[in-house]
């Protein structure tokens, strides 16, 4: 009976890990893990573009999952910090600046991978909001740091192997 009870607890833990409640945080954590090491070498697409698209897709998917989770749970948790009020102003300033720019389209979205556009500034602010909302426990923050450090180790191993065995 004890073995069956332990197995049920283990099964509940796995279900909880892959539940909708953890999905936005998992997607954002995976994005943080992949961002430093993600590149798609191609003659047709610059690697900066593929990295920017990966980060943007990760943040948007996490945001959509967060919206679904919020609608399902019926409550919205918004961090109450003056930093977020100021952070909301930043994309608005970028948007206004884009409209008064000589090249509105380039200021709004650029070629798709520039980080100094309205679109990417909005992605960064959404990532900041989601990170502050989704990673509020020490355990979740630890996992994100661990994933980021693991990403560093993968990247370091790649470069060390390139150093010793050539490009």
Q: Which of 24, 34, 37, 25 is nearest to 155 (CA)?
A: 37
As a whole number of angstroms, the distance between CA 117 and CA 106 comes to: 8
For residue 156, the SS3 value is helix
Residue 59 has pLDDT above 90, yes or no: yes
Give me the mean pLDDT over the 80-90 stretch. 86
User: Do 31 and 124 contact (CB within 8 A), yes or no?
Assistant: no
Q: How far apart are CA 149 and CA 37, in angstroms?
A: 11
- DSSP string across 141-152: HHHHHHHHHHHH
What percentage of residues in the chain have a pLDDT greater than 70?
81
Residue 63, pLDDT score: 95
Q: Rounded to whole angstroms, how far apart are CA atoms 65 and 18?
A: 13
Mean pLDDT (the chain, rounded) = 83
Q: What pLDDT is recorded for position 24?
A: 93
pLDDT range class, residue 12, cuts 50, 70, 90? low
Distances 127 to 23, 77, 94 between C-alpha atoms, Å: 15, 15, 17
Against a cut of 0.85, is the pTM above it? no
CA 89, CA 91: separation in Å to the nearest integer? 6
Residues of the chain with pLDDT > 90: what percent?
30
Question: What pLDDT, on a 0 to 100 scale, did the predictor assign at position 107?
Answer: 86
> Cα dist. 110→39, 53, 91, 105 in Å?
20, 13, 15, 6
């Amino acid at each position: 009976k004890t073995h069956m009870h332990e197995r049920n607890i283990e099964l509940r833990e796995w279900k909880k890990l892959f539940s909708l409640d953890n999905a936005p945080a998992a997607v954002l954590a995976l994005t943080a893990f992949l961002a430093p090491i993600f590149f798609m070498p191609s003659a047709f697409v610059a690697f900066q573009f593929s990295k920017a698209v990966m980060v943007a897709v990760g943040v948007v998917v996490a945001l959509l999952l967060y919206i679904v989770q919020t609608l399902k749970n019926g409550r919205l948790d918004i961090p109450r910090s003056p930093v977020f009020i100021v952070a909301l102003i930043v994309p608005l300033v970028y948007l206004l600046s884009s409209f008064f720019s000589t090249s509105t389209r380039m200021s709004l979205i650029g070629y798709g991978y520039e980080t100094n556009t309205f679109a990417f500034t909005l992605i960064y602010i959404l990532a900041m909001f989601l990170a502050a909302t989704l990673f509020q426990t020490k355990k979740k923050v630890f996992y994100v740091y661990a994933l980021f450090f693991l990403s560093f180790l993968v990247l370091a191993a790649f470069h060390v192997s390139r150093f010793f065995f050539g490009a």
